[in-house]
Structure 1
Amino acid sequence: MNKPKIYIDGQAGTTGLEIVKRLSNREDIELLKIPDDKRHDDVVRKEYMKEADLVFLCLPDAASIEAIKLIDDKTKVIDASTAHRTNPDWVYGFSELSNQQKQKIKSSYRVANPGCHATGFISIVYPLMKHQFIQKDTLLSCTSLTGYSGGGKSMIAQYETEKTSDLYAPRLYGLSLQHKHLKEMKQICHLEKTPLFCPVVDDYYRGMLTTIMIEGNKEEIVQLYQDFYQDTFIEVTKDEETYLSANLYAQKDNLKICIHGNDQQVMISALFDNLGKGASGAAIQNMNLMLGLEEYKGLSY
């Protein structure tokens, strides 16, 4: 049987580089690598896309929309940008939401990879909505802490080579409360109200910690998550930590739900790697499903 051929459009970006690194030693796929001087040549790009069985788009939103025009309908695509995450013609690439969602990913030719902050938010909120611990009209408040690699090459350079005094402290951003991940958070979780969302970037390379707080009984909520995520890539713990460090799952591709609180108020946190389950790891997980491979092959956990 021929090995599936994989092409990464945008292989020089942060997400693209991570996928290249993870796939380079895979013996069950063939990685097509375009020469650096041809990365922006649409004629050559189209040739690589035509040869591939699956294409990763690791591009800015507008560039992803243009790239789709170069790809044959018979070629499978995973888009890592924001461009298609709320598009009904694309499947949202979060297999742990349900067995039905996993089957949709397996059979789809167009999968939108979730956003990093959205991954944390949805992993927490979707089970609560599904089992009516919260209602559609609930106004949720969420904080999400990320390492600076989430800002791409320009932010990495800023922190590592052009560092100023303000970069030694946590920095709130998205201050207009209109972060680009909010649309998918709201749509996938079937919320009527846009969440109040505060992202924070800090002086470490990779890792993410997304948190919401709700009223409820801790033991009931722990049981809900344990049942919901049974036999998935998401683990659930309670009261294991005195502190939660956002880089604890750096270099891992799975996600941990951490639950703290009491019988009236509960803090629920998603701990994962913004470059792992929040980007490249999730993309490879979706690739494995779309190509009929073992779902967690090549992933770290």
Structure 2
Amino acid sequence: MSSPTVFIDGDQGTTGLQIHDRLRHRTDMRLSTLPAAERKNPQRRAEAINACDIAILCLPDAAARESVGFIRNPGVRVIDASSAHRTQLEWVYGFPEMSGGQAQRIAQARRVTNPGCYPTGAIALLRPLAQAGLLPRDYPVSIHAISGYSGGGRAAIEAHEAGDAAGVAPSQVYGLALEHKHTPEIQWHAGLAQRPLFVPAYGAYRQGIVLTVPIELRLLPTGVDGVRLHACLAEHYSDAPHVQVMSLAQTQAMTHLDPQALNGTNDLRLGVFANADRGQVLLSAVFDNLGKGASGAAVQNLDLMLAAHATG
């Protein structure tokens, strides 16, 4: 069987560049991109996407929908890194560790939608607890997350790194209208009955995310405490090589969380910080917004799909 062709549509954006860098030396595929003069040419994009085995879309939402609309070859499989298809039933959500069998569903899928960076951490924490009945599905969930400024895309990176103080604040809380586009994705895939309150922020560092969810134990079912919440997460991710659940001893000894701790990896580190005397718990997730939150996740999904291609 010949090596599959992987086409990156949008390889000059932040995620596309990272994916290209991760794939360019691999010998188990033929990597395809368009020259600069043709990247916005609809005809050339259509030709390239229909000539590949797997297309990775690293585009704004509207352009990603346009690319999918170009497909006429039924053999083309897609990984969409945009948010255009994340709550559509006909697309498989590209979070392999989310639930049992999800990795196999991704491996066999024709259409995979890559998770958003913030939703990766939120869903990783909330979904197992909601599924187990430890967190009521109508719990008033609040999520706060701080990302490196690379989360704002190429323009934000260039402004920060050029020292453009007028163009972008060094640190900022945003999404104050409470309409962030990731919120429906979090609610849908975490299995929540009510819309969570999500407040994101950018920090004055390039990449890495720390996301936290405060929990009031008095609002949980009787007998649910930090120990049970931790045990649920530890069991759910016990066989997940890219997800680490810190022990309670580790979290008890910690005084801070470093959002940059896992930069350059495809790993996700979860924590349960419990104060039994106060009846409160803080759930945390740390990961690289350009790794497990974007390009690393896309390559992880690609590898699952390539393995299925090789055996199919």
Q: Note the C-alpha offset of 1:242.
A: 2.0
The equivalent of 2:164 in structure 1 is 163
Query: Aligned pair 1:253/2:266, yes or no?
Result: yes
In structure 2, do the counterparts of structure 1 residues 35 and 168 end up closer, same or farther at CA, with 3 Å as the change threshold? closer
Q: Note the C-alpha offset of 1:30.
A: 1.2
User: What amino acid maps onto 1:79 in structure 2?
Assistant: D
The equivalent of 1:244 in structure 2 is 257
Question: C-alpha distance in 1, partners of 2:170/2:81?
Answer: 29
Contact 2:147 2:202 in 1 (8 A): yes
The equivalent of 1:53 in structure 2 is 53
Question: C-alpha distance in 2, partners of 1:45/1:104?
Answer: 27
Question: C-alpha distance in 2, partners of 1:93/1:167?
Answer: 31
| Greater Cα shift, 180-189 or 97-106 | 97-106
Contact 1:167 1:203 in 2 (8 A): no
Give the root-mean-square deviation of aligned CA atoms: 1.6
Q: Deviations over 1:28-59 (max 9, x none)?
A: 11101221111111221122112211000100
Question: C-alpha distance in 2, partners of 1:169/1:68?
Answer: 36
The equivalent of 1:234 in structure 2 is 243
Name which of 254, 259, 284 aligns with 1:269: 284
Query: Unpaired runs of 5+ in structure 2?
Result: 218-224
User: What amino acid maps onto 2:5 in structure 1?
Assistant: K
Q: Deviations over 1:144-193 (max 9, x none)?
A: 11000011111111211143179565310011001000111011112121
Query: After superposition, where does 1:1-301 map in structure 2 within 5 Å?
Result: 1-71=1-71, 72-164=73-165, 169-216=170-217, 217-232=225-240, 233-237=242-246, 238=248, 239=251, 241-263=254-276, 264-292=279-307
In structure 2, do the counterparts of structure 1 residues 69 and 169 end up closer, same or farther at CA, with 3 Å as the change threshold? closer
Q: Note the C-alpha offset of 1:77.
A: 0.1
User: What amino acid maps onto 2:83 in structure 1?
Assistant: T
3-state DSSP of counterpart to 2:239: coil
The percent identity for this pair of structures is 39
User: What amino acid maps onto 2:213 in structure 1?
Assistant: I
Contact 2:52 2:76 in 1 (8 A): yes
Contact 2:107 2:308 in 1 (8 A): no
TM-score by length of structure 2 reads 0.90
User: What amino acid maps onto 1:231 in structure 2?
Assistant: D
Q: Deviations over 1:51-71 (max 9, x none)?
A: 211000100001111111112
Query: Unpaired runs of 5+ in structure 1?
Result: 295-301
Q: Note the C-alpha offset of 1:117.
A: 0.6
Contact 1:93 1:111 in 2 (8 A): yes
User: What amino acid maps onto 2:201 in structure 1?
Assistant: V
In structure 2, do the counterparts of structure 1 residues 285 and 293 end up closer, same or farther at CA, with 3 Å as the change threshold? farther
Count of paired positions: 294
User: What amino acid maps onto 1:103 in structure 2?
Assistant: Q
Question: C-alpha distance in 1, partners of 2:155/2:35?
Answer: 23
User: What amino acid maps onto 2:291 in structure 1?
Assistant: G
Question: C-alpha distance in 2, partners of 1:123/1:166?
Answer: 34
Question: C-alpha distance in 2, partners of 1:99/1:133?
Answer: 18
Q: Deviations over 1:105-160 (max 9, x none)?
A: 11110000000011111011011101111112111011011000011111111211
3-state DSSP of counterpart to 1:194: coil
